[in-house]
Amino acid sequence: MLSAQHCFVPTGQCSDVHLGGHVQTGGYGQMTRSFGLLADRVMAFYILGADGNQRVVKRDDPNDSDLFFGLLGGSPGNLGVITHTDIQVYQDKGFAGSHALWALHAYTPAKLEKLLGILTKNV
């Protein structure tokens, strides 16, 4: 969906975790060094609390900062059920030629062996 709009977010690499886990536990991936974690891009959580009420917990609201960062670093369901998130996205046009900054390098067994030889040469 984001790529159709020429946008991207830094995401985690573990496909078994999915978006909810990446949002709450960091989202370490290929773009982390350039753009930080996916969790750094979360602007708000929409949660369903124990009282049954839905509320919005925003990053920049000083009254909710403890709850926001508790949700951000917490495990699912401890402080409420997260139903939605607002996430800051980047536009590809701001990073010319990036194509969402994804790269895949296919190595032949011979090339991989040569690269591993270089890496382990001084070990």
Report the CATH number that the domain containing residue 110 is assigned in CATH: 3.30.465.10
Residues in the chain: 123
Q: Does the pLDDT at position 1 exceed 70?
A: yes
Give pTM, 2 decimals: 0.69
At residue 28, the pLDDT reads 77
Q: Given this model, what pLDDT does residue 119 score? A: 80
Q: Which secondary structure element, helix H or strand E, spans residue 115, and what is its range?
A: helix 109-119
* Overall average pLDDT of the 31-60 stretch: 88
Cβ within 8 Å of residue 80, ≥6 positions away: 47, 48, 49, 50, 71
Full domain range(s) for residue 69? 3-119
Instruction: Give CA–CA dist 66/52, Å, rounded.
Output: 20
Number of domains in the chain: 1
Mean pLDDT score, 22-44: 82
Q: Please, where are the H alpha helices in 2-108? A: 18-25, 32-35, 65-73
Report the 10 Å Cβ neighbour count for 120.
8
Q: Which residue has the higher pLDDT, 107 or 84?
A: 84
pLDDT score for 59? 92
Average of per-residue pLDDT across 105-109: 79
pLDDT at 97: 58
